[in-house]
Structure 1
């Protein structure tokens, strides 16, 4: 059996609140300054870090947030891209993405943009320095987290991940117009 000791809070150990705020919209949607932290490797196959590492990143969330994922998948993801030889790597999964001093994501997966191409001949070798990183967006899961941690805020409507895309609205409107036109032709 394993015994668990409580954390001793200090200057270096503290709580990061979970964000229940709507992701910035407009020009900021794909350009939010954040900090990623983790204990991962510096390179695939390398040794795990011996101290917590942090990296200033630019986060993206929205229909075009993660280049390899479909718009409906992007509603649950926040992505960053590695730059200047830095990014998430093996061992960073489960690490936090902090924006405006609040946790917004949990490190989920790293991949190369070339791996997204369905017509690729072979799978490219994964390198942490050129990787793209996807975090699970915490906000849509706050109600579930709250069941286990009562102090966590609930999921606000702005974070439900069910925003109707403009493409879907166009399809629905077009369908209504076509049906209206068909009824007019039938009645003529």
Structure 2
């Protein structure tokens, strides 16, 4: 039957097939005009580390690190191409402070690598816990920054177990980790 409709030369049968063809092709056509989401900006990652710096010193150190990223990107933009004079568009500014509550929070926005948020919490025995939320495109920079900080591992309350060395509360009779009798 379909073969008979197509073989007929009258225009009305072809006009009936045209809406059907459009309905079938509509999802494909709409995908062509959608902006693809870069794979690096699909989800955020979180990292937390402890440092021996005080909260104010840690805040300023992180801020200076991000400003060094900014100056590095500006240097790359000015020396990146021999034909940069042909570009009429000015590059957008990178790593701008979008929110700052010193010394607890600082948020930077970047049009290429996304937002990065640093939260600072002062720890009891001294030092600071730094929590950062970022997109995977910034992972390398965050790891290099973290490597420049003096790390501090907080000691849990209690004395170390003589057998396994893990911290155990003083009122425990048996180590919950290895089962060694403590007293």
Normalised to the residue count of structure 2, the TM-score between the two structures is 0.25
Structure number with bigger Rg: 2
Structure that is richer in helix per residue = 2
